[in-house]
Structure 1
Amino acid sequence: MRILLVNPNSSAIVTETLRAAITPLQTEKLQIDVVHCSNVPKAIVTSHDEMKAGLSVTDLLIREEPNFDAAIIGCFADPGLRAARELIRKPVVGLYESSAIFARLSGRRYSIIASGNESDISPWIGSVRDLGDTENLASIRYINSTVEDSVTASDERIYRIIDQCRKQDGADAVILGCAAFAGKGKRLSEAAGIPVIDGICESVQMAEMMVSYRRKQQ
C-alpha cells in the first residue's frame, strides 16, 4: 500500500518533521511518501492561507492520484479535505479529523494544544463545529509560538499545558493540533498518563482502514 502525506505549507522544517515522524510506521507492505505544496505560505494562519493551501493540495492530489492508494493532508486545518474527496476517488484523510475520531474513542472530552495564540481560537472553534464536536471539546490552549518554532518546543513545555488540560479542563485526551508537533504524541502519552495524539499514527490508521474497506466493497 502506498500513502501520500502532503504538507500543505511550504516549510521545509515542518516537512522534515513529518517525514521523521512517519518513518517508523513504514513497513515492507506500507510505503509513505512525504511531499509539500509549492507557492503556498510557510504556515497556514489565516483563512486566505487555508484557501490557497486547499487549492494547492487538491491540484497536487489530482495530479498524483494514479500514484497512491490513499492520501493524508498533513495540517490540522485539514485544508482542501472536502474538495479532495469530491475530486478524487482515492481515500483522503486529514490530521484533525483523524485525531478527533481517536480522541473521542479515548475519552468523553478532549483538549487541543496548538501553535499560535488566543487570537486563533475562533478558527479552531469553526473546525470543531464542522465536525460536530463542540460538546466533546474540553479546551483549546496555545504555546504562543509560530508553526516553525513549534518544531523545537520542548516536551516539558508541552507537558505543562497537557497537565493543565487534564487537571483544570477535565480532558480525557489531548490533541497536539499542529503538524510541527508530529512525533511527540507517543512519549507525551507515556509521561502524561492520558492519550496525547499528534495525528500521525491516527491518520495513517484511518487511511489504511479506508483502503481496506473500499477493497472489500469491490
Structure 2
Amino acid sequence: MRILLINPNTSVAMTERMVASASRSLAPDVELVALTAPHGMPYIASRAESVIAGAATLEMIATHQGGVDAVVIGAFGDPGLIAARELFDLPVTAMAEAAMLTACMLAQRFSIVTFSPTLTAWYEDAVALSGLQGRCAGIRVPDVPFASINDVQSELESQLVELCLRSIETDKADAVILAGAPLTGFAAKVAARVPVPLIDPLDAAIGQATLLARLQTIPARAGRFARPPAKPGTGLTRALGAWIEHRPM
C-alpha cells in the first residue's frame, strides 16, 4: 500500500521529521510517498495561509495521485481537506479531523495543546468543522515565544507539558491532542509525564488513511462528495486543470 503524505508547508525539514516520526508506527506493508509544498509558507498559522496551502495541496494530489491508495494532509488545520474529498476518488485524511476522531474513541473530552497563539482561531474553526465543539475542553498555548520553528519542541517542552497537565486538571480533559506539524513526534517523547492519552495527529491521520484504503469503499458518485462536473479553468497547473476538466493529462 502506498500513502501520499502531503506537507502543505514549504519546510523540507518538517517533511523529513514527519516521515521519521511516522515510520515508528507504520504498518510493514505501507509505503509513504512524501511531498513538500512547492510554494506557500514555511509553516501555516492562519486562515489566509490555509487557503493558499489548500490550493497547493490540490495541485500536489492531482500531480501525484497515480499509484497511491490514500492521501494524508500533514497540517493540523486540514487545508484543502474538504475540497480534496470532493475532487478526488482516493480516501483523504488530515491531521486535525483524524486526531479529534481518535480522541473521541479514547476519551469523553479532549483538549488541544499547540505552540503559538496565532493558531488558535484557525484550530477553533477546525473543531467547529468537525462538529465536535461539545467534546473539546479547550485550546491551550504557551505564553512565551519560540525562536525557531524547527526547534519548537525542545524550546517549549516544559511549557507544553505543563499545559497538558493543566488541561487535565482545570479543563477536565480525558485526552490531549498535541497540535501542529512542528509537534509531530512530541507525544511519544513526553507520554510518560502526562497521565492521559496523548494523541499525535500525524499518526492518527496515517492510521485512518490506512484503514480507509483497506476498506476499499467505492468513490462517491452522488451526494456532497460526488466529483463536480467538468469545467474549464485558467492558469491552473497542468495536472489540476486536466483533472478538473475531466481530460487525460
Q: With structure 1 as the length reference, what TM-score do the two structures score?
A: 0.91
Amino acid across the alignment from 1:91:
P
For residues 179 and 74 of structure 1, what CA distance do their matches in structure 2 show? 7
Q: Which moved more, 1:119-128 or 1:129-138?
A: 119-128
Displacement of 1:45 in angstroms is: 1.6
1:33-90 CA-to-partner distances (Å, cap 9, x unmatched) read 2211111111112222111100000110011111311110000010000111111111
For residues 156 and 46 of structure 2, what CA distance do their matches in structure 1 show? 26
Hey, which of these two has a bigger chunk of helix by percent?
1
Q: Which residue of 2 aligns with 1:205?
A: 207
1:176 to 162, 178, 181: 178
Q: Which moved more, 1:145-154 or 1:182-191?
A: 145-154
For residues 184 and 162 of structure 1, what CA distance do their matches in structure 2 show? 12
Q: Which moved more, 1:191-200 or 1:25-34?
A: 25-34
* Identity rate, percent: 25
Whether contact under 8 Å (2:115, 2:160) holds in the other structure is no
Amino acid across the alignment from 1:162:
C
Whether contact under 8 Å (1:116, 1:147) holds in the other structure is no
1:10-89 to 2 correspondences below 5 Å: 10-89=10-89
Q: Which residue of 2 aligns with 1:214?
A: 216
Amino acid across the alignment from 2:59:
D
Count of equivalent residues: 216
Equivalent position SS for 1:44:
coil
Q: 1:130 to 1:195 in 2, by over 3 A?
A: same
CA RMSD of aligned residues (A): 1.9
For residues 154 and 25 of structure 1, what CA distance do their matches in structure 2 show? 25
Amino acid across the alignment from 1:87:
L
Q: With structure 2 as the length reference, what TM-score do the two structures score?
A: 0.81
Displacement of 1:100 in angstroms is: 0.2
Amino acid across the alignment from 1:183:
G
1:16-48 CA-to-partner distances (Å, cap 9, x unmatched) read 211210122345411112211111111112222
Equivalent position SS for 1:66:
coil
4+ residue segments displaced more than 6 Å: none
Equivalent position SS for 2:44:
coil
Unaligned runs of 5+ in 2: 220-249
Answering whether residue 156 of structure 2 is matched by residue 157 of structure 1, we say no
Equivalent position SS for 1:35:
strand
Amino acid across the alignment from 2:152:
S
Q: Which moved more, 1:13-22 or 1:130-139?
A: 13-22
For residues 78 and 127 of structure 1, what CA distance do their matches in structure 2 show? 8
Equivalent position SS for 2:75:
coil
Unaligned runs of 5+ in 1: none
Q: Which residue of 2 aligns with 1:142?
A: 141
